[in-house]
């Protein structure tokens, strides 16, 4: 099966494929994702009754059909520390540096979506 991820088509070699979801991403009950959806690291997704966008950049929140900046990097990192601790693991300093790097790298993908949806809210 071929799946489009971003602008690139990939042959998965499988007859079926699901979604690609990054570490520490959370979804609500009833969240609808399309085949080949790509969801970044540390996202928060709330069901909207319709399929969510096929691409959600890392650290973005998608609530009520709109992108949101969420609680900020420090808060997300604190949550990640708690989540791995519940599994009797440790989020290392190297993990935190990697997550901060991904946060910075995906800013240019995330911010325009958040800005667009914030403006739409203000126009209401």
Q: How confident is the model at residue 86 (pLDDT cuts 50, 70, 90)?
A: very high
Contacts 24+ apart (CB under 8 A), 60-65: 60/110, 60/113, 60/114
SS3 55: strand
pLDDT number for residue 7: 72
Domain count of the fold of the chain: 1
Tens of pLDDT, residue by residue over 102-122, are: 999 999 999 999 999 987 766
**Both tokens assigned to 74:** 């420090």
Structural domain boundaries enclosing 94: 2-123
Instruction: Look at residue 5 and tell me whether its pLDDT is greater than 80.
Output: no
Please name the residue that has the structure tokens 């325009």: 112
pLDDT number for residue 124: 60
Task: Give the percent of the chain with pLDDT over 90.
Answer: 69
């Amino acid at each position: 099966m071929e799946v489009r991820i971003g602008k690139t088509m990939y042959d998965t070699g499988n007859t079926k494929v699901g979604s690609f979801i990054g570490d520490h991403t959370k979804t609500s009950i009833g969240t609808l994702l399309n085949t080949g959806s790509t969801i970044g690291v540390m996202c928060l997704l709330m069901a909207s009754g319709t399929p969510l966008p096929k691409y959600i950049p890392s650290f973005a929140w998608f609530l009520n059909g709109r992108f949101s900046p969420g609680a900020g990097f420090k808060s997300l990192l604190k949550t990640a520390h708690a989540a791995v601790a519940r599994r009797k693991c440790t989020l290392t300093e190297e993990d935190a540096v990697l997550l901060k790097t991904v946060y910075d790298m995906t800013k240019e993908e995330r911010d325009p979506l958040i800005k667009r949806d914030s403006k739409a809210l203000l126009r209401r």
